[in-house]
Structure 1
Amino acid sequence: MAPHPSAEQVEAPRSQRVTMLAVCLDLEGILVPEIWINVAERTGIEALRRTTRDEPDYDRLMRYRLDILDENGVTIDDITAAIEVMEPLEGAIGFLESLERSWPTIVLSDTFSQFARPMMGKLGNPTLLCHTLVIEDSGRISDWTIRLEDQKRRTVEALRSMNFEVVAVGDSYNDTSMLATASAGILFRPPDNVVEEFPQYPVTRDYDGLMAAIGEAAAALGE
């Protein structure tokens, strides 16, 4: 019996490979409000308003947040109560529905499954990749477990290795490695400091403009 051909032997010539487009979106600031800012408003703890827009080092930011929670006795139940009353950004649901009708769409976030769960149903349960909190029986948040170091960038890399073109959308420092790795990157409602530091990315301010920018990027990529 003849041996089975190897993967290298059966790989199609580049001209015959099928390329698809996928869209990767950040969650907070793109589809839902910034969760930590809402928690800050709900608890009255102004120190929790600090986000990745202010601190690009995510590990440092999370350790800072957990220390603030401990100092103020804030538990996962307090945070969940704040998140459950949040709503998606105005227009986000219709935008996401239109996007998912056109292309495979993945939400990539540095939030945590326990935070995101109440919001996902309101968004129609899109595919979400995020991290997980370590929660003690008392409800104290003691640590966090990342899915993968720099998971946004590495997810985009994985998709591109599977012959996907990727359009990535973000708004903050922790999105920029994802934007740089994607076939095309777009900023949505970014703060001025991010616009100034990353002028190579087109800036959009509303969902119609974002959808148009994604469409233009897709067309430029032959999709």
Structure 2
Amino acid sequence: MSRNALVLTLLGETLPTALFSEVEAWLEEQGLSVARRRWLTGEAAAPADAACVAWEIEGRPLESGSIDLEALRAEALALGSAHGVDAAVQAASEWRGHRRLVCFDMDSTLIKAEVIDELARRHGVGDEVAAVTERAMRGELDFQQSFRERMARLEGLDEAVLEDIAVNLPLMDGLETLMAGLKRHGYRTAILSGGFSYFARHLQARFGFDEVHANELVIDEHGKVTGEVREPIVDAARKAWLLEDMATREGLSLSQTVAVGDGANDLEMLSRAGLGIAFRAKPVVREKARQSITTLGLDAVLYLMGHPRAALAVEASADTPAG
């Protein structure tokens, strides 16, 4: 396959038959052709909850460099959205299927919650914290300023509340399958979160994340949250820096990294990674990120990384002792 080739991946609970002919017609309009079509979920017996197919694309516009990749991605996104599926376009990189470091946001990515909102609700200041969040969304406060204001309202919260929330974190769909697959393939994994390390460490203990970088709550000698947080605060710039720092420490190029997140404060990290994926993100984040997943669970990240479900199933059965 040409070194200039692309991979178009379609993901959804089902893939409408009409979509395939539309994709082929669209590619023909672009002067591109399908070199290979591969079902990552299995064509004959696709699971009822997911369908994924990867198209390897080539053609003269790619070889001449005359194709506008960003425009192609935008058109693919629109085509997929019209059918209720995700469509992702990426270069057929030598690292596809062989990247080595995967970094995740935590809140609303690894878990189905924004922990600071739950802490505020338990402390009886949910509306106050929501008001600060709204000001930040309107651009009246930057992340660090809004974060400090929200933290101040948690002063006096009992550590027992943190423990109760931590042991009952609502996991994102597909997290367990994803982590089993990543560990099986030998990827290094990390949590890079603007949330709290108290909760990220619970996920680390359960799923074996190699590193955790998140904000550290200050708890006094009486087991009460002080409303302060230790420096440095993990914001958008810090996430991007941590991604690069980990890659450097591991002797990796950024092309060998993957980042997954849902918020605006993840965009810088997503743009630095070799494969940046917006997961169940707001429209503005989905449009700015190079790749996105909205229709399936977190384990669909494996498909964008080039791993078929069949390979994982075979390896999983190989790990199971014979009865």
1:188–1:203 Cα contact (<8 Å) kept: yes
Pick aligned residue for 1:110 from 194, 212, 222: 194
Q: Distance in 2 between matches of 1:178 and 1:74?
A: 31
Shift of 1:178: 0.8
1:197-222 Cα shifts (integer Å, max 9, x gaps): x1x42210223432212328xxxxxx
1:12-45 Cα shifts (integer Å, max 9, x gaps): xxxxxxx963111112222112212333454454
Query: Does 1:135 find its partner at 2:219?
Result: yes
The aligned residue for residue 54 of structure 2 is none
For residues 7-156 of structure 1, the aligned pairs below 5 Å read 21-33=100-112, 34-47=114-127, 48-49=129-130, 50=133, 54=137, 57-70=142-155, 73-102=156-185, 103-138=187-222, 139-147=224-232, 150-156=237-243
2:119–2:154 Cα contact (<8 Å) kept: no
The aligned residue for residue 303 of structure 2 is 212
Query: Does 1:167 find its partner at 2:254?
Result: no
Partner SS, residue 215 of structure 1: coil
1:186–1:201 Cα contact (<8 Å) kept: yes
Q: TM-score of the superposition, structure 2-length normalised?
A: 0.52
Pick aligned residue for 1:201 from 266, 277, 290: 290
Q: Distance in 1 between matches of 2:233 and 2:241?
A: 8
Closer/same/farther in 2, CA of residues 160 and 193 from structure 1, 3 Å limit: same
1:82-133 Cα shifts (integer Å, max 9, x gaps): 3332232232112111122222222212222223333333334553222322
List alignment gaps of at least 5 residues for structure 1: 1-18, 217-223
Partner SS, residue 150 of structure 2: helix
1:159–1:166 Cα contact (<8 Å) kept: no
Q: Distance in 2 between matches of 1:142 and 1:38?
A: 15
List alignment gaps of at least 5 residues for structure 2: 1-97, 308-323
Shift of 1:153: 0.8
Partner SS, residue 187 of structure 1: strand
Partner SS, residue 64 of structure 1: helix
Partner SS, residue 96 of structure 1: helix
Q: Distance in 1 between matches of 2:206 and 2:124?
A: 25
The aligned residue for residue 268 of structure 2 is 177
Q: Distance in 1 between matches of 2:103 and 2:164?
A: 28
1:120-179 Cα shifts (integer Å, max 9, x gaps): 333345532223222222313231113576332112222444333211111111111111
With a CA cutoff of 8 Å and minimum separation of 6, indicate the structure with the bigger relative contact order: 1
Q: Distance in 1 between matches of 2:121 and 2:219?
A: 22
**Whose Rg is larger?**
2
Percent identity of paired positions between Structure 1 and Structure 2 = 25
Closer/same/farther in 2, CA of residues 85 and 109 from structure 1, 3 Å limit: same
Closer/same/farther in 2, CA of residues 25 and 96 from structure 1, 3 Å limit: same
Q: TM-score of the superposition, structure 1-length normalised?
A: 0.72
1:26–1:175 Cα contact (<8 Å) kept: yes
1:87–1:122 Cα contact (<8 Å) kept: no
